[in-house]
Amino acid sequence: MEKYDVIIVGAGISGSVSAYILSKHMNVLVLEKKKLPRYKTCGGGITNKTLKFLRKIGIDIKNDLIENYIDRIRVKILGSEKVIEYNEPLGILTYRDVFDYYLLKKSNADILDETKVLDVNVSKDKICVKTSRGRFISDYLIGCDGATSVVKRKFFEVEKEMGVAAQLETNKMFNEIYIDFDIVKNGYAWIFPKRKGSTIGVGYIRGEEKEPIRSVLKKFLKNINVSYKEEDIKIHPLPYFIGRKNVVYKNVVCICGDAANLIDPLLGEGTFNAALSAYLASEAILKGNLGLYEKMYLDSIYKHMKRAYLISKIFYSKKEFSKYILMRTSFFEEFLKCICNEIECYSKGYFMNILKLIPLYVISKIYRFSK
């Protein structure tokens, strides 16, 4: 049985970042069930904070990975539309198969694709990983295996609450990013225009919707006049952060990214926390103390996601208020700029500023009612 210092399950963004950091100093194996580069059901929106973070750890993104820039967004809420424009883009649009594979190839790890992890056992601090291509042994194991993580199911409590998304790649061209908050109660539909087509999808990031996600997407496709083949619609879980202090490590095993339910519940952005959590877990392993990962996670991810969760609760359940913020103030534009650019994104100050807008909203409602 081949022995490694670290085995990483999954070659998405979190697996690739872990492999990149750890393989500089350790003997690392990445196991990926699909053939690489693999298609990932994802809008491919990568914010500046993620790009900045990747640059900080030594990874520059090449221009040919960029399909478009996030600089003009048409937003629809309660029947009203507004175009938000930025001089400096908030990020890029890409395709995750090429993006993740580019990151993965930066590492010196051994990579085995088309190798599915079937089971994991820990005995005397040694980990035995059973795969479709034999068994491997390691000192540490990182579960970067996404929404249906086998590592999570084996060692951690699985969250019952999970969102879901449906997506379609089309060759129909659009000239701006479009976000429709009306199509579902607790989420949104999107059009992300790329160089030779568009990625179109819908997700509910708080799982209380009645209508199946597939039929919501079909309704949206009809609204925007896009034809499709039924088999081209992909459905994927959205393991968003649900406000709880989830456990991310146990002894010599840890989970990162979607496996740890780290999708931002307001934006639906998962790539930033996937990269950041993978980096934190890898740093903790390099220091020989995986317990540090939990501590760093609480300081730099949990703290922000807790605020994102509260804001998402207000935003999606009080749509009249959200419409007021979006359509009648510049707060949303500034806020979006901050959460797409700043690594310390959901700061306490912004959270308090949202609460301060509530009395203004109430006054504006009373004023309009009295006219």
Applying CB under 6 A, the residues found at the interface with ligand FAD are 9-15, 31-34, 38, 40-45, 116-117, 144-146, 150, 165, 167, 201, 203, 236, 238, 257-259, 263, 268-271, 274
Which of 7, 80, 73, 52 lies closest to 252 in space, CA to CA? Answer: 7
Task: Please identify, using beta-carbon distances, which residue of 185 and 318 lies nearer to ligand FAD.
Answer: 185
Which two structure tokens, joined as six digits, stand for 242? 């649900």
> Using an 8 Å Cβ cutoff, are 13 and 51 in contact?
no
What single-letter DSSP state applies at residue 218? H
Of all residues in this chain, which one has the CB nearest to ligand FAD in the complex? Answer: 270
Q: How far is the CB of 319 from ligand FAD (least distance, A)?
A: 22
Residue 42 has, within 13 A of its CA and on its CB side, a CA count of 25
Residue 296 has, within 13 A of its CA and on its CB side, a CA count of 19
Q: How far apart are CA 113 and CA 31, in angstroms?
A: 6
Task: Please identify, using beta-carbon distances, which residue of 273 and 324 lies nearer to ligand FAD.
Answer: 273
Q: How far is the CB of 165 from ligand FAD (least distance, A)?
A: 3
Phi then psi dihedrals of residue 36, to 5 deg: -95, 150
Burial-class residue 163 by CB neighbours within 10 Å (0-12, 13-18, 19+): buried
Q: How far is the CB of 224 from ligand FAD (least distance, A)?
A: 17
Q: How far is the CB of 29 from ligand FAD (least distance, A)?
A: 11
Q: How far is the CB of 326 from ligand FAD (least distance, A)?
A: 20
Task: Please identify, using beta-carbon distances, which residue of 168 and 324 lies nearer to ligand FAD.
Answer: 168
Task: Please identify, using beta-carbon distances, which residue of 29 and 361 lies nearer to ligand FAD.
Answer: 29
Q: How far is the CB of 204 from ligand FAD (least distance, A)?
A: 11
Task: Please identify, using beta-carbon distances, which residue of 41 and 48 lies nearer to ligand FAD.
Answer: 41
Task: Please identify, using beta-carbon distances, which residue of 234 and 328 lies nearer to ligand FAD.
Answer: 234
User: H or E element: which one contains 368?
Assistant: helix 348-370
